[in-house]
Every structure is written in C-alpha cells, then in structure tokens.
C-alpha cells in the first residue's frame, strides 16, 4: 500500500505542468464557489440586519390590531403586564426599544410634506441603529428635551435648517388633534431615500404628548443575539400575554416582502451555484481525461508486464484524490484572505444599480460572509465532484486492452 501511494505521488510530479493545470482547476473552482456562496450569505445577512436595525428589530410587541391597521388608535398600553411578560427572558433579550410612530404633515411657511413622526428613547435607538453616527448637523436630543431631529432629505425639501422651527399636524390617539411647533435641534442623514425624506424624531415623552397617548407605544422592539431562536422566544413571550390584546411578532412576520425577496435571491443563487458546479465539473473532467489519454501507452505497458488492474486503478484513483486535496487546500488558502478582505471592504455599487438597491431599502454594497461553514462546505462539494470524476480513470483501466494501448 505504501509503495502504491508513493508511486501515485511521484506520478503527479513527473509532468509538473499537467499536475499544475489540474490543481489550478480545482483551486479556481473552490475560490469561485466560496465567493458565490459568501456573497449570497453576506447579502442575505445584510438584508436581514438592515431590516432589523433600521425598522423592525428581531421581535416586536404590538396591539393585536396594529399590524392589520397601523393607526394611533391601536397603540398598546406599555404597562406592568408587558414588562412582566418579557422579564423572565433577560438572558435572551439584550435590550428593548420603545417607539411611538404616526403620520403627520410637516410645514414651514408655504412648504409642506407628509412625514413619519417617531417618538424614541435616544440612547436605546442609538444602540440599535447608530443614529449618532449619522448626525449631519446639530445634535441628538436627550430624553428630557423638547426639540426635534429631522432627516436631511426632508430638511432640503422644506428648506429648513438647525435652529429654525417646524410645524407638525396630525391625528392622535382616539381622534385627538396632534399639533406642535418644534425647534430643529439636529439633522440626520440616512442612505435610504424613503427614510431620508420622511423621518422626524421626537423624544419619546414628547412624542407621546404630541399624539395624546401617554404611556402608550405603537411598538416595543426587542433586540436579541443572533443565535437566539426568535420563533421560540416569541412563542414564550406570547404565552405570558393576553392574545386578545397583544401580538408578538418576529421580523419575518413583520416584513413578508423582504422574506420573499430573500427567498427569491436564494433560489437564483442556488441555480447559479448548480451551473457553477457543472462548469467546474466539466473543467476538471477535461483535465483528467487529457491526463488519462496521455498515459494510455504507459498503462498498456504496465498491464502487459504483469501489474494487476486493481493496483493500477488504485494508483490512478489516489492520484485524483491527491490532486483534489491539493487543489482544495490551495483554493481555500486563496479564498479565505480574499473573502476576509472583501468582508471589511465590500464591493460598492454606483449608478442605476445603486439606486435600485436604495429603492429596496438596502445600502448599495455587496457584503461577503466569512463563516467557517462556507469554506468547509464548498471545499467538500468540490472535493466530492473531483472524486466522482476520479472514477473515470478507474473504469477506463478495468476496460483497457493492454495490447492496443501499448501500441499507441
């Protein structure tokens, strides 16, 4: 056995050029497969993270009617029942983010614009989506302040700047008139146009006063770790609440359109991966076949002088395994630093593609994931493909006519 393994290894390096081509084919296949899957996983995680951080959180507690009819009349009462329901799950819940959100008309002199007024706890909101890093002018308010922070696009549309005042008019809780005049204390810039052109932030207490809804929230966002089973946590919290009054929803229930988009992208990526595996397989098969036919005379002579077919087939199969392992190792060694670099410096879109992604509510980048599972899985798949192709020389050896092969 040791002699046959040594013979297989030496055979690889008798023709270094041929071996290098085969190893390069396998390595290139691994790099391509890892890049495709890392991009797909990275984009999926980026879409989920964007939705969770900017909009829904991982879970939300709402009034049971709010998801079907998101009006201020269906704001939930944030009292002891809700606090007691989430208290047992402190290990899974990192923090909560209270919000009260409604629509209003923002005006400055003769300019007006429909806006989304959101009352927030600035510290918790900043922890969730890094609002302080997006401040373009002025500063974020403290919980006890009474001024507003508006999005940069809205400021441009209304022609308003820090220090000036904005008038907000809307409908509050149970048909109450919501109206107020607020000084602009800060301007915040978002990459997504929908947010940048509509958002007005108020301190949570001031937002509740504006909407005439003291001690009420439209939603209580729950932020957890990535490894938490959100469906199970939602089920457990739901069991502690009266389902006739409260609803506990996960991010995928809150954003079915986003889930559909992710599933469509994953289906496309699976088709692309299948096509890639087929191209890779035929590429490796071509090099193996070429290598096989270059050595037919050698095989014929070896069989003619008495080498058993099983041993020759074993040597050929071990050559394929060695080439495959070398190619997979080389491909992984190249892919990891490349994906590591791209994970910190993602590809950034410009032009129409960038605008398309912004319209979808996504930052126009292609992020790459670097989880070990991706590298192990793709290396294993390419290795299995190479092994399947390695069965061809074995089959050829058992059917080979030594006399005719030796004459070639």
Band the pLDDT of 328: cuts 50, 70, 90.
confident
Query: Under a CB-based contact definition with an 8 Å cutoff, are residues 230 and 250 in contact?
Result: yes
pLDDT of residue 208: 93
Given a cut of 80, whether residue 11 has pLDDT beyond it is no
Residue range 60-83, pLDDT digits in tens: 999 988 888 888 888 888 888 889
Q: What percent of the chain has pLDDT over 90?
A: 24
Count of residues in the chain: 408
Q: Which residue has the higher pLDDT, 155 or 4?
A: 155
What's the farthest any 2 CA atoms get from each other in the chain? 101
pLDDT of residue 380: 86
Q: Are 146 and 282 members of one domain?
A: no
pLDDT of residue 115: 93
* Domain that includes residue 191, residue range: 59-224
Residue 234 falls within a domain, yes or no? no
SS3 content of the chain, % helix, strand, coil (to 5): 60, 20, 20
Residue range 162-208, pLDDT digits in tens: 999 999 999 888 888 889 999 999 999 887 777 889 999 999 999 99
pLDDT of residue 311: 77
pLDDT of residue 272: 84
pLDDT of residue 56: 84
Of the candidates 34, 49, 19, 21, the residue with the CA atom closest to the CA atom of residue 372: 34
Q: Which residue has the tokens 């290139």?
A: 28
Residue 63 falls within a domain, yes or no? yes
Pairing mode, strands 199-203 and 111-120: parallel
Q: Judging by beta carbons within 10 Å of its beta carbon (0-12, 13-18, 19+), is residue 163 exposed, middle or buried? A: exposed
Residue 240 falls within a domain, yes or no? no
pLDDT of residue 133: 84
Residue 241 falls within a domain, yes or no? no
Strand partners, 347: 366
Which two structure tokens, joined as six digits, stand for 273?
Answer: 């991966």
Q: Are 167 and 46 members of one domain?
A: no
Residue range 13-48, pLDDT digits in tens: 667 777 787 788 788 888 888 888 888 888 888 888
Residue 34 falls within a domain, yes or no? yes
Q: Are 40 and 151 members of one domain?
A: no
Given a cut of 90, whether residue 151 has pLDDT beyond it is yes
Angstrom distance (rounded) from CA 349 to CA 40? 16
Helices assigned H by DSSP within 255-308: 256-294, 296-304
Number of helices and strands in the chain (H, E): 15, 14
Given a cut of 80, whether residue 236 has pLDDT beyond it is yes
Q: Judging by beta carbons within 10 Å of its beta carbon (0-12, 13-18, 19+), is residue 184 exposed, middle or buried? A: buried
pLDDT of residue 405: 60
Q: Are 32 and 136 members of one domain?
A: no
Q: Which residue has the tokens 């061809």?
A: 392
Residue 246 falls within a domain, yes or no? no
Q: Are 67 and 194 members of one domain?
A: yes
Q: Are 219 and 98 members of one domain?
A: yes
Given a cut of 80, whether residue 299 has pLDDT beyond it is no
Which two structure tokens, joined as six digits, stand for 304?
Answer: 């003619």
Strand partners, 88: none
Q: Are 187 and 100 members of one domain?
A: yes
Rounded average pLDDT over 320-328: 82
Q: Are 132 and 75 members of one domain?
A: yes
Residue 243 falls within a domain, yes or no? no
Number of domains the chain is built from: 2
Given a cut of 80, whether residue 330 has pLDDT beyond it is yes
Query: Under a CB-based contact definition with an 8 Å cutoff, are residues 131 and 188 in contact?
Result: yes
Angstrom distance (rounded) from CA 247 to CA 67? 9
Residue 232 falls within a domain, yes or no? no
Q: How far apart are the first and last CA of the chain?
A: 29
pLDDT of residue 12: 67
Angstrom distance (rounded) from CA 246 to CA 340? 44
pLDDT of residue 48: 82
Rounded average pLDDT over 53-57: 81
Band the pLDDT of 359: cuts 50, 70, 90.
low
Q: Are 83 and 212 members of one domain?
A: yes
Band the pLDDT of 295: cuts 50, 70, 90.
confident
Q: Are 107 and 132 members of one domain?
A: yes
- Using the 3D structure, point to which of 209, 224, 239 is the last residue of a domain: 224
Residue 338 CB neighbours (<10 A): 16
pLDDT of residue 354: 73
Residue range 85-143, pLDDT digits in tens: 999 988 889 999 999 999 999 998 888 899 999 999 999 999 988 888 889 999 999 99
Rounded average pLDDT over 297-313: 76
Q: Are 76 and 190 members of one domain?
A: yes
Q: What percent of the chain has pLDDT over 70?
A: 93
Q: Are 152 and 81 members of one domain?
A: yes
């Amino acid at each position: 056995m040791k002699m046959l393994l040594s013979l297989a290894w030496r055979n690889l390096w008798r023709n270094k050029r041929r071996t290098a081509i085969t190893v390069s084919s396998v390595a290139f296949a691994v790099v391509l497969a890892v890049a495709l899957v890392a991009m797909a996983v990275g984009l999926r995680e980026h879409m989920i993270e964007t939705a969770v951080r900017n909009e829904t959180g991982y879970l939300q507690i709402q009034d049971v009617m709010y998801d079907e009819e998101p009006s201020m009349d269906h704001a939930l009462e944030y009292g002891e029942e809700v606090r007691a329901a989430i208290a047992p799950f402190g290990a899974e819940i990192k923090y909560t983010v209270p919000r009260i959100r409604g629509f209003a008309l923002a005006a400055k002199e003769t300019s007006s614009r429909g806006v989304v007024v959101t009352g927030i706890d600035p510290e918790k909101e900043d922890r969730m989506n890094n609002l302080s890093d997006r401040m373009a002018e002025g500063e974020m308010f403290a919980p006890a302040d009474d001024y507003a922070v508006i999005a940069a696009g809205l400021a441009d549309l209304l022609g308003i700047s820090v220090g000036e005042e904005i008038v907000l008019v809307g409908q509050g809780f149970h048909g109450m008139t919501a109206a107020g005049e607020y000084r602009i204390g800060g301007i915040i810039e978002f990459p997504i146009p929908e947010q940048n052109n509509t958002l007005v932030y108020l301190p949570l207490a001031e937002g509740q006063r504006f909407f005439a809804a003291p001690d009420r929230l439209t939603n209580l966002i729950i932020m957890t770790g990535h490894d938490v089973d959100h469906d199970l946590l939602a089920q457990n919290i739901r069991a502690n609440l009266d389902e006739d009054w409260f609803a506990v929803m996960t991010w995928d229930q809150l954003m079915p359109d986003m889930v559909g988009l992710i599933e469509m992208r994953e289906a496309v990526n699976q088709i692309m991966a299948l096509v890639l595996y087929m191209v890779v397989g035929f590429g490796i098969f071509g090099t193996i076949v070429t290598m096989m036919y270059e050595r037919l005379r050698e095989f014929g002579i070896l069989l003619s002088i008495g080498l058993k077919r099983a041993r020759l087939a074993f040597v050929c199969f071990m050559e394929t395994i060695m080439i495959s392992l070398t190619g997979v190792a080389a491909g992984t060694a190249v892919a990891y630093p490349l994906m590591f670099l791209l994970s910190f410096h993602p590809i950034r879109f410009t032009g129409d593609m960038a605008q398309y992604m912004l319209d979808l509510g996504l930052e126009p980048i292609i992020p790459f994931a670097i989880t070990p599972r991706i590298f192990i899985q793709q290396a294993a798949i390419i290795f299995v493909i190479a092994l399947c192709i390695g069965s061809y020389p074995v089959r050829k050896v058992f059917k080979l006519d030594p006399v005719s092969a030796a004459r070639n």
